[in-house]
Amino acid sequence: MIIAANLKTNMTRSKTIIYIKEVDSFAQTTSQDVFVFPAMSSLDDFHTTKTVVGAQNAYPTVNGAFTGEIGLEHLEEFNLKTILIGHSERRHILGETQEFIVDKFNFFKEKGFKIIYCIGEPLEIREAGNETMMQYISAQYEGIDTKYENLIIAYEPVWAIGTGRMPTLEDIQNIHTQLKKKSPAPLLYGGSVKVNNTKDILNIENVDGILVGSAALNADDFSTMIQIAQEIENKK
C-alpha cells in the first residue's frame, strides 16, 4: 500500500532530517510504499533507503523569474522525482486554477515525475448531493492524463482536511468506487486520517493507501500507520 506524509508548513530542516531518518528506518522493515513531502526549505540529501521524498509544490519551469517559487532544477539538486499537485490548500488558499494545475501536471509528467494528484470537494458541494459532487470532482480530472503510468490520485474531501471530520467508511467506499472508474491509478484517501482510523480506512475496497497531514507529524504515529498497512497486507 501507499502511505504518504504531507508535512505542509511544519518542521525545520534539522527536525525533518531526524523525522525522515526515523520513518525510513521503520519503513525499511516493511514492504509498503512510503512517501514524505517536507517543506521546501527543509529539503536535503536525505539518503533514504525505502522512503521516497517528494516536493509539496514547484513551479512548472526549470528556473526563471517566479518570485517565491522553486523550479525543476531545485528539485533535481536533491534528486526529487515525486511531486504533489492539486492539493486543496493550493487550490483554495493559494488560488491555483484547474488550468494552472494542468500546466504543472503536464510539465512534471513530461519530466517523468511521479505525481500524487489531489482532488476533493468542499462541504457545500458534498451537501448538494452525489451528482453535484461527482460533477465537481470530474472537473478536477479535466486536462489530466488519467492513464499516466506514474500517477497516484489522492481523494481528499476539503472539509475533512485538518478538521477531525470525515466521511463515513461507506461514503469513502462509494466515492472510491466511482473514482476508480475514472482512472486505473492507485487511489489514496486523505483527510483526518489518524492512527486509530487507519485500519478501517485501509480495509475499504478501492482504497490503495492514505495521504496523512497532521497525524503524520509524529514519526512514531506515522510509522504505526505503515505497520498497520503491513499487517493488513500480511493477512491477504
Q: What is the DSSP string of 162-192?
A: TTS----HHHHHHHHHHHHTT--S-EEEESS
Cell of 201: 480506512
| Min dist. Cβ of residue 80 to ligand PGA (A) | 18
Strand boundaries in the chain, DSSP class E: 2-6, 33-37, 52-53, 82-85, 114-119, 151-155, 187-190, 209-212
What character string, x for contact with ligand PGA (CB under 6 A) and - otherwise, covers 196-215?
Answer: ---------------xxxxx
Nearer residue to ligand PGA within complex by CB, 65 or 93: 93
By CB under 6 A, tell whether 162 contacts ligand PGA. Answer: yes
Distance, CA of 80 to CA of 68 (rounded, Å): 19
If one asks whether residue 96 binds ligand PGA (CB under 6 A), the answer comes out as no
Given 87, 89, 96, 121, which residue is catalytic?
A: 87
* 3 is a site residue for ligand PGA (CB under 6 A): no
Q: Which of 193, 202, 219, 225 binds ligand PGA (CB under 6 A)?
A: 193
| x/- track of binding to ligand PGA for residues 22-61 (CB under 6 A) | ----------------------------------------
8 Å CB contact between 76 and 95? no
Which residue in the list 89, 96, 121, 156 is annotated as catalytic? 156
Considering only 10-18, 23-31, 139-147, 155-163, which stretch makes contact with ligand PGA by CB under 6 A? 155-163
Calpha distance 50→219 (Å, rounded): 15
- List the grid coordinates of 30: 516493511
Residue 25 CB-density burial (10 A; 0-12 exposed, 13-18 middle, 19+ buried): middle
Q: Which helix (H) or strand (E) holds 123?
A: helix 123-127
Query: Does 156 participate in catalysis according to the annotation?
Result: yes
- Choose the stretch contacting ligand PGA; rule: CB under 6 A; options: 20-28, 41-49, 171-179, 184-192: 184-192
Among the candidate windows 24-32, 47-55, 145-153, 191-199, which touches ligand PGA by CB under 6 A? 191-199
Residue 183 touching ligand PGA (CB under 6 A): no
- Whether 92 is a known active-site residue: answer no
Grid cell, residue 65, equals 523569474
Active site residues: 87, 156
| Residues at the site binding ligand PGA, with contacts judged by CB under 6 A | 6, 156, 161-162, 190-193, 211-215
